[in-house]
A and B are shown apart, each in its own frame.
Chain A
Amino acid sequence: MTKFIIRRLLQTIPVLLGVTILVFSLMHLIPGDPAQIIAGEAAPERQVEQIRERLGLNDPLHVQYGTFLGNVVTGDLGTSVRSSRPVADEIGARFWVTVELAVYSTILSVFMGLIAGIVSAVRHYTLTDVAIMVVALFGLSMPNFWLGLMLIQWFAIGNWIPESLQPFLQMRASGWGDDWRQVILPVITLGTAGAAIIARMTRSSMLEVISQDYIRTARAKGVKERVVVYQHALKNALIPVVTVVGLEFGALLGGTVLTETIFAINGMGRLTIDAIRQRDFPVVQGTVLVISVLFVMVNLLVDISYRFLNKRIDLN
């Protein structure tokens, strides 16, 4: 197992290198001279040249990449051209907000999705099943920015819920971080689609597994139906679901932009958007790099969890 993890870790190195090359190229592929943009349209040529010199933009590309890579490895992601603060600090301040949001949303998705999917599968072709699947289809089809806006409309602005419950759902103007109750609406917004996907996946996976010969074997041994469903079947049915959960989590890390904007949350998504808007290239580079690395890591974790669930996935 340790060998497998080490090997898998080594395999991520070329992927990560590829990511750094892409991120590095960003700066050079985007039209316009970064130094000019940083200095401003009207800046004198001498000042632009100075910036160019400072950023090392006059060096050959491979030297620039080498410097970039060296800096990245040592944790130096450059300096924001807008705030003049280190990009690593800018990201560090926002990073955990997004991770927290993604983790809570994934927990919600997994929890709701698994329960709904299992119930649907166990009672397949009944009214319960149909009802759950219709709700799941809604959850899947709703754009999450719309859901977010509606949730704010219903719960935070409207008076749809009793007075006594209001504080638990109210959003504060100050945004994320003051009160755990502020977490609820964004997490519902982000978690709904994932829950729907996981519910559908779990259902189809369970239905497939439950008709397998080994389930009949378990029943023929006198195993309780509950154990048949929750141990024999679920453990097999979870294998494809884990992939979906991993992908969902990865997508949430990079894809909370709209939700962060709607709920005024200062996470990575907003940082990226603001940086793009302001042509703050080092920050864009930094956030894209961090999100990519996270995504690769999440995939690594999915692979490792596969090994725990399915022993057939061999070391080779």
Chain B
Amino acid sequence: MNSSENILEIRELRTSFFTDEGEVKAVDGVSFELPRGKTIGIVGESGSGKSITALSILNLLAKPGEIKGGEIRFKGENILTYSEKQMREIRGNDISMIFQEPMTSLNPVYTVGQQIMESIRIHQGLNKREAKLKAIEMLKLVGIPSPEKRVDQYPFELSGGMRQRVMIAIALSCNPDMLIADEPTTALDVTIQAQILDLIRELQNKLNMSVMMITHDLGVVAETCDYVAVMYAGQVVEFSDVRTLFKNPRHPYTVGLLNSLPRHDIEQEKLKPINGTVPSPHNMPKGCRFAPRCPFATELCRESLPELVADENNNQIRCWIYSDEWDGDPEVNVHDSEERTAKG
């Protein structure tokens, strides 16, 4: 896959937080790419570095966060080398972002119209009247009824679902090439979730956008994404297209995630959780970060960190099981974890 097809390529991104207790490597060598017009899902537990990766792309990290290294290529250019001014031209214009909390993501003292217009006026240089018309048009686009009235309302006058629609209107007002959606439906109730996801997908097709969907919900991934990057403790552990991931997950962590989902196609009395907890960022395991929780972990896993290796279909995996060095059972089947867990 060459870079002209990819709108975004992240290479070995490292982002750290410098706290009193020392450096916390929130994102530690993350790599993935997003083909133009496609959707990538970034999946992982809380604290796996999903949101930090997203904020790194727009260089919106709050202190004491800092990008330590790597490359973020957007349309072929490494935007990590961009100045603050150049980044401002990208934010909200080429790359937009919507956030998890629609209730707090809009400024309470400005009308929704003003907040949509701000983006339009910064990036498209329209005057007030034109920008307002455009704002109304955007509200209509995201399915808000009577947009002429809503445009002059304040966020507190809108429901959570409506506010997330407004956020989407702000994000899409300048026809961005890429939308980063950071858990856009987590704070919404289920019926509204589906509406918002449908809306994003519909607008993606209409505007030919690429989407980076950050979520911990595999259901959302299955429904919306073309590719998936599974993140664990600041690293990508598996990357593949969505069909392969669901049909044939390879990383024991991905398998664990899928097993912990309720299913209606098979009989099951209890959900299978992944044992243990995410390692503390202050005290990362020496070897594979998932090793302490992995039912298949061997000496090799605990001692050294596997590389992210791509196969001929660009499906990537960070696991010793798929390497030649693997020192465990050569016939191991990662889908067989139940028996293993019981033994361990």
Contact = CB atoms under 8 A, between A and B. Distances in A.
A222 B176 CA distance: 12
Interface in A263-313: 309-312
Interface string B82-95: 00100011111100
B337 to A, nearest CB: 38
B109 A220 contact: no
Given A220-B91, A222-B89, A236-B109, A312 B156 contact: yes
A211 interface: yes
A221 B122 contact: yes
A141 to B, nearest CB: 29
A213 B55 CA distance: 13
A67 B75 CA distance: 84
Given A213-B101, A311-B154, A312-B154, A221 B118 contact: yes
A236 B170 CA distance: 20
A213 B167 CA distance: 12
A313 to B, nearest CB: 10
Dominant SS among interface residues on chain A: helix
Contacts of A212: 104
A309 B109 contact: yes
A146 interface: no
B92 A220 contact: yes
A213 B122 CA distance: 20
A220 B88 contact: no
Interface in A206-249: 211-214, 216-225, 232, 235-236
Interface in B62-96: 62, 84, 88-93, 96
B106 to A, nearest CB: 6
Given A216-B99, A235-B109, A309-B109, A222 B92 contact: yes
A215 to B, nearest CB: 8
Nearest to B96: A220
Contacts of A232: 107, 110
A310 B108 contact: yes
B106 A217 contact: yes
B58 interface: yes
B105 A217 contact: yes
Contacts of A311: 108-109, 154, 156
A222 B105 contact: no
Interface string A113-127: 000000000000000
B123 interface: yes
Contacts of B156: 311-312
B31 interface: no
B221 interface: no
Nearest to A212: B104
Interface residues of A, number: 21
B60 interface: yes
Contacts of A224: 88
B97 to A, nearest CB: 5
Contacts of B90: 222
Interface in A169-228: 211-214, 216-225
A217 B99 contact: yes
B99 A213 contact: yes
Given A222-B119, A310-B109, A312-B156, A213 B96 contact: no
A240 B207 CA distance: 43
Contacts of A214: 104-108
B107 A217 contact: yes
Interface in B168-184: 170
Nearest to B64: A125
A311 B110 CA distance: 9
A222 B93 contact: yes
A223 B118 contact: yes
A216 B60 contact: yes
Most buried by B among A212, A219, A236: A219
Contacts of A312: 108, 154, 156
A220 B104 contact: no
A218 B60 CA distance: 11
Contacts of A309: 109
A51 B92 CA distance: 80
Of B89, B90, B115, chain A has the most CB atoms within 10 Å of the CB of B115
Contacts of A225: 84
Contacts of A223: 88, 92, 118, 122
A214 B99 CA distance: 10
Contacts of A220: 58, 60, 91-92, 96-97, 99
A179 to B, nearest CB: 43
B104 A219 contact: no
A46 B113 CA distance: 78
A219 B109 contact: no
A218 B88 contact: no
A236 B92 contact: no
Nearest to B123: A222
A277 B172 CA distance: 72
A311 B157 CA distance: 10
Contacts of B92: 220-223
B212 to A, nearest CB: 13
B107 A218 contact: yes
Contacts of A218: 107, 118
Contacts of A219: 60, 91
Nearest to A124: B63
29 contacts: A211-B62, A213-B99, A213-B104, A214-B108, A216-B60, A216-B99, A217-B99, A217-B107, A218-B107, A219-B91, A220-B92, A220-B97, A220-B99, A221-B91, A221-B118, A221-B119, A221-B122, A221-B170, A222-B88, A222-B93, A222-B122, A223-B92, A223-B122, A236-B107, A236-B109, A310-B108, A311-B154, A312-B154, A312-B156
* 10 nearest A-B pairs in the assembled complex, by CB-CB distance: A221-B92, A222-B91, A222-B92, A213-B104, A214-B107, A221-B119, A222-B88, A213-B105, A220-B97, A311-B154
Given A217-B107, A220-B58, 12 more contacts: A211-B62, A214-B107, A217-B170, A218-B107, A220-B91, A221-B91, A221-B92, A221-B122, A222-B91, A222-B92, A222-B119, A222-B123
